[in-house]
Amino acid sequence: MTRRGFLLSAGTTTGAFALGAGVGVAANAAVALRADTAVGAATVNFYGAHQAGIETPFQAHGVFLGFDLKRDTTHVMARRMMELLTDDAARLAQGDPALPDNDPYLAEKPARLTATFGFGPGFFTKLGLSSQIPAGFADLPAYRIDKLVPEYSGSDLVISIGSDDPLTLAHAVRQLTRTARSFSSIRWSQKGFVRSQGVAPATQTNRNLFGQVDGTINPAPGTEAFAGQVWAEGSPSWFAGGTQLVLRRIAMNLDTWDKLDEGGKEISVGRKLSNGAPLTGVHEFDAADMEAKNSAGLSVIPDFAHMRRARTDNPKEKFLRRPLNYDDGILLDGTSNSGLLFAAYMANIQTQYLPVQQRLVDLDLLNTWTTPIGSAVYALPPGCLPGGFIGEGLLS
Amino acid sequence: MHKTLVTLGALIAGLTLAFGSASAATAHSELEGSVPAQGSTVSTVTELVLTFGEAVVPDYSTVVLANSAGISVELGAPTYDTTATVMTIPITSGALPNGDYIAGFRIVSVDGHPISGEIDYTVAGSDVPAFVVPTPSDSATEAATQGPVVTDGTTETVTLTRANDGPNVLVVVGTIFAALVALGLVTVVLLVAIRRNRAKATE
Amino acid sequence: MTMTIIAKRTLAFATLTMAALALAGCTSAAAVSTHTPEADAAVVPTFTDVWVKAAPELMGGTGMTALFGVFENPSHDDITILGGTADAALTTTKLDTHEVVQNDAGEMVMQEKKDGIVIPAHGSVTLKPGSYHIMFWDLKKPIAVGDTITITVNFSNGTSATVDAVARDIANANETYDPKADTGATPAPSSTMNMG
Ligand code: HEM
Ligand SMILES: [Cu+2]
Ligand SMILES: [Cu+2]
């Protein structure tokens, strides 16, 4: 039993006692190590209409785990797996150990831990559930810019875990992996990060490893625009409230990028490095003027600029970008091994994502320094309530 | 003939660059020369030829041309020599009338380095009739004819037509000028090494 | 933290707060002293987070495993877990209560806890790897991760409870059985949770 478990049971056995007395016990039992900070103690509610970890503001650290179902995995086993994973995730999100958990003290500081689950195309086909595949959900076509490697591509199941604390995160990864691997085998794990909590105001847009302000144009959590872009509705019914994830591992060549001067870097996207303002504006969220020309008659935001190519006025082609940086250390020749775990969430990959991705394949100066090396898609079920489990609509 | 000459010009340009401007080897793809050249006054311009110190990525190239009134001139798709360092951009309507012009270019060299700049030149002694800006009522009927489709700098799109022009005349004129321009190109390219820094690079 | 400490704490806590107890009132009586053992006779301990170590493969046609969880005693008197029975299809051998102790050779081994596992009055006990557990012998079929098995647990106050346990994968809880480890053996130290 963990300290927390002890507190819970003490509370139960002493139900008639004044609450204050229970708190006294907590103080006794915990003393120094249990002391929490606001960052460490913060939790994100696991249960709800949607899975946590999507509309959740960025946690500092994240891991994507790709698993393939074992060949003989049945519908019933898949259901059990999701029941157990749900149970683990719900406990860990509260700062409680998994059941069982050999390192329960590592669960103590959840730091906004979330675990989010998604099903790859193989999940549906292996389990005979092809008829339940959501509209628009399929692997991306092969693109000429891709240099995909299997180590980072595809999988039947994804677990995306986020926390503001890397130690808590590592523990959660272990616990969830232990549960998942009874039914599946790990295919890859990909780790990423943004800034640490408290380093910048929570509202400040992240930077990627090119130094760019990345994430300016994004639907704001809790808005109708967010819901419209991200959450699926209608059919198949199990998927209502779910979302589709495109996960691309995109290598960023920091060494060739560094050969550019600031101006060259800025026009490749069309935004300033200093604050992310469009080249035609002053502040980050100023509307970009796509028509503006310089004295030579050239578009201030070039035709090849990433933002010109990616942007759209069509609300049906917008989506949530929630990318993490990855930095897998310096290679032996001294060059970078870094990039983006580009994670985009939308109700329908085909209609919302593919047109944008195709434009970027056709023309985007950023392609000079970026190379997609991994690619995967997942259908993320809606959330669940206590007693339920993630994917229940599909697997019950 | 036009094509052959241009290609020949480009070949010579390539050779010139290879042997004549070794000092440019370390530079990024800066503009080494152009026809018309920066600050020059010429009588006949049917295309722009830009020569860079390093191969450019065709996908990323943009060239625009406008006169001093801010009237932009429609350009055709650029073509490249085999080394991708010499870029030729036809003027859709053929030779330019007299006036001051600003050509803006933005290219990306194969190493990903974006370069942009402008080339100012003057056309004098051209016998091509001046552009006329049609009245809005004209444009409805004339828009369908040839003639540069431009923006006038105030973002309002107007369609320009040339007085008295006919397609046949333009083709003949264009062919003659093409020959002249190609010859001019050979000459100019030979001067590139000494003049390559004349262009005003803005980035 | 071991069960021992929890139990002690809970007891100490209960003592310290007798007054509060009396004031708040318990299940029936206005004062602690008025209740009789008989009054609590029907109290069934409650349980949470019950799980069983999965035994995905049988060895030589049989296997063993153990059940863990938190048992709580809301009554005024200690209640002892005496053991239990499983579905006959799983095992017909009685489920004994076990503990993990250090034997004379210094190894952590498990042995039967013949007098059962005490759930202190108004307290709880946690059965966990490296400590108390309910032992399964002679498994007739494997227990896969995610399976739910149902057992009947018998308590010293004459009650019993039907307990569902979900099968979980865990690397430890592998102590060997040492029937010779004498009953006076040192209980597992509180700091030792995991004995691989
Ligand atoms: C390593 C790869 C990438 C990098 C470094 C990158 C970087 C950026 C940056 C700096 C911005 C401007 C700031 C902002 O609005 O967030 C941006 C915008 C955007 N990017 Fe990317 N991006 C990458 C890949 C992608 C991919 C693969 C897609 C989708 C297929 C994408 C879609 C977008 C969209 C839709 C916008 C907003 C455009 C607008 O409306 O202004 N990006 N990206
Ligand atoms: Cu009582
Ligand atoms: Cu045992």
DSSP code string of chain C: --HHHHHHHHHHHHHHTHHHHHHH--SS-SSGGG--HHHHTTPPPEEEEEEEE-B-S-BTTB--EEEEEEEEE-SSS-EEEEEEEE-TTT--S-BEEEEEEE-TTS-EEEEE-TT-EEE-TTEEEEE-TTS-EEEE-S-SS-B-TT-EEEEEEEETTS-EEEEEEEEE--S---PPB-TTS-TTSEEPPTT-----
Of C126, C135, C69, the residue nearest C96 (C-alpha): C135
Low-confidence ranges of chain C (pLDDT < 50): 1-35, 40, 185-186, 188-196
Task: Spell out where B157-196 has E strands.
Answer: 157-159, 161-162
Q: What DSSP designation does A186 have?
A: E
pLDDT surpassing 80 at residue B179: no
Q: Give the least confident one: A232-236, A303-307, B3-7, C73-77.
A: B3-7
Of A188, A67, A45, A119, the residue nearest A390 (C-alpha): A119
Are B91 and B21 contained in the same domain? no
Domain count, chain A: 1
Residues 6+ apart with CB under 8 A from B146: B92, B93, B161, B165, B167, B170
Single residue among B85, B113, B129 that ends a domain in this structure = B129
Task: Return the ∠ at Cα B175 (arms to B173 and B176), rounded to 5°.
Answer: 65
Q: Flag whether B143 is in a domain.
A: no
Q: What percent of chain A has pLDDT over 70?
A: 91
Q: Flag whether A133 is in a domain.
A: yes
In this predicted structure, what is the pLDDT of residue A80? 97
Do the Cβ atoms of A304 and B60 come closer than 8 Å?
Answer: yes
Structural domain boundaries, residue B62: 31-129
Confidence of residue B136 (pLDDT cuts 50, 70, 90): low
For the segment A140-158, what is each residue's pLDDT rounded down to a tens digit?
Answer: 999 999 999 999 999 999 9
Alpha-carbon distance A270 to A279, whole Å? 6
The rounded Cα C47 to chain-centroid distance in angstroms is 10
Residues C145, A13: C-beta atoms closer than 8 Å? no
The crossing angle, in degrees rounded to 10, of helices A75-94 and A166-180 is: 160
Do the Cβ atoms of A290 and A298 come closer than 8 Å?
Answer: no
Do the Cβ atoms of A341 and A190 come closer than 8 Å?
Answer: yes
Which chain A residue shows the shortest CA-CA distance from B200? A296
- Averaged pLDDT, B99-107: 96
- The residue whose CA is least distant from atom 8 of ligand 1 is A214
Q: Flag whether A24 is in a domain.
A: no
For this complex, say whether ipTM is above 0.95.
no
Confidence of residue A33 (pLDDT cuts 50, 70, 90): low
Distance from CA of A171 to the nearest CA of C (A): 14
**Could you tell me the CA-to-CA distances from A190 to A176, A341, A358 in Å, in that order?**
15, 8, 25
Q: What percent of chain A has pLDDT over 90?
A: 89
pLDDT surpassing 90 at residue B160: no
In this predicted structure, what is the pLDDT of residue C1? 31
Phi and psi at C2, nearest 5°, equal -95, 170
For the segment B66-77, what is each residue's pLDDT rounded down to a tens digit?
Answer: 999 888 899 999
Distance from CA of B75 to the nearest CA of A (A): 13
Alpha-carbon distance B36 to B103, whole Å? 10
pLDDT higher at A114 or B202: A114
pLDDT surpassing 70 at residue A166: yes
Q: Using CB atoms, which chains have 3+ pairs under 8 A with C? A: A
Single residue among B129, B154, B187 that ends a domain in this structure = B129
Token pair recorded at residue B22 = 């070794």
For the segment A91-113, what is each residue's pLDDT rounded down to a tens digit?
Answer: 999 999 999 999 999 999 999 99
Residues C168, A102: C-beta atoms closer than 8 Å? no
Domain count, chain B: 2
Which chain A residue shows the shortest CA-CA distance from C71? A9
Residues A84, C21: C-beta atoms closer than 8 Å? no
pLDDT surpassing 50 at residue B41: yes
SS3 A61: strand
For the segment B183-197, what is each residue's pLDDT rounded down to a tens digit?
Answer: 444 444 444 434 444
pLDDT surpassing 90 at residue B30: no
- Averaged pLDDT, A208-213: 98
Are B122 and B171 contained in the same domain? no
SS3 A178: helix
Do the Cβ atoms of A58 and A206 come closer than 8 Å?
Answer: yes
Alpha-carbon distance B32 to B50, whole Å? 8
Alpha-carbon distance B153 to B70, whole Å? 5
String of b and e for B94-108 (b: at least 16 CB within 10 Å)?
Answer: bbbbbbebbbbbbbb
Ligand 1 binding pocket mutation candidate from A342, A349, A353, A367 (most atoms within 8 A of CB): A342
Name residue A378's beta-bridge partners.
A245
SS3 B97: coil
Are B38 and B99 contained in the same domain? yes
pLDDT surpassing 80 at residue A211: yes
Residues C128, A77: C-beta atoms closer than 8 Å? no
What number does the ligand 1 atom closest to the CA of A215 have? Answer: 16
In this predicted structure, what is the pLDDT of residue A336? 94
Q: Flag whether A36 is in a domain.
A: no
| Side chain identity at residue B173, one-letter code | V
Cα-Cα-Cα-Cα dihedral sign, residues C165, C169, C173, C177: positive
Alpha-carbon distance A242 to A240, whole Å? 5
For the segment A380-396, what is each residue's pLDDT rounded down to a tens digit?
Answer: 999 999 999 999 999 99
Q: Flag whether B141 is in a domain.
A: no
pLDDT surpassing 50 at residue B172: no
Of C142, C167, C126, C132, the residue nearest A87 (C-alpha): C167
Token pair recorded at residue A318 = 């917008």
String of b and e for B27-48 (b: at least 16 CB within 10 Å)?
Answer: bbbbbbbbbbbbebebbbbbbb
Residues A102, C122: C-beta atoms closer than 8 Å? no
- Averaged pLDDT, A265-285: 98
Token pair recorded at residue A97 = 């150990």
Interface of A to B at Cβ within 8 Å reads 256, 259-260, 263-264, 267-268, 291, 293-299, 302-304, 363, 365, 368-369
Q: Flag whether B188 is in a domain.
A: yes
The rounded Cα A89 to chain-centroid distance in angstroms is 15
Of A270, A255, A288, A290, the residue nearest A368 (C-alpha): A255
Distance from CA of A239 to the nearest CA of C (A): 24
Beta strand pairing status for B114-123 and B41-42? Answer: parallel
Do the Cβ atoms of B58 and B80 come closer than 8 Å?
Answer: yes
Alpha-carbon distance C193 to C196, whole Å? 10
Are B20 and B42 contained in the same domain? no
Structural domain boundaries, residue A323: 61-383
Of C71, C47, C66, the residue nearest C119 (C-alpha): C71
pLDDT higher at B141 or B29: B29
Cβ contacts of A27 on chain C, cutoff 8 Å: none
What number does the ligand 1 atom closest to the CA of A370 have? Answer: 1
pLDDT higher at B187 or A34: A34
Alpha-carbon distance B173 to C1, whole Å? 97
Token pair recorded at residue A234 = 């209608």
Q: Flag whether B79 is in a domain.
A: yes
Counting Cα atoms < 13 Å in the Cβ hemisphere of A27 gives 6
**SS3 helix, strand, coil % of chain B, rounded to 5?**
35, 30, 35
Are B111 and B171 contained in the same domain? no
String of b and e for A304-329 (b: at least 16 CB within 10 Å)?
Answer: bbbbbbbbeeeeebbbbbbbbbbeee
For the segment A117-143, what is each residue's pLDDT rounded down to a tens digit?
Answer: 999 999 999 999 999 999 999 999 999
pLDDT surpassing 70 at residue A306: yes
Q: What DSSP designation does A93 have?
A: H
Are B19 and B39 contained in the same domain? no
Cβ contacts of A18 on chain C, cutoff 8 Å: 20, 24
In this predicted structure, what is the pLDDT of residue A36? 85
Containing B167, the helix (H) or strand (E) segment is helix B167-195
CATH of the domain at B70: 2.60.40.1220
Q: Flag whether B55 is in a domain.
A: yes
In this predicted structure, what is the pLDDT of residue C181? 66
pLDDT surpassing 80 at residue A32: no
CATH topology of domain C40-179: Immunoglobulin-like (2.60.40)
Single residue among B129, B154, B181 that ends a domain in this structure = B129
Are B119 and B193 contained in the same domain? no
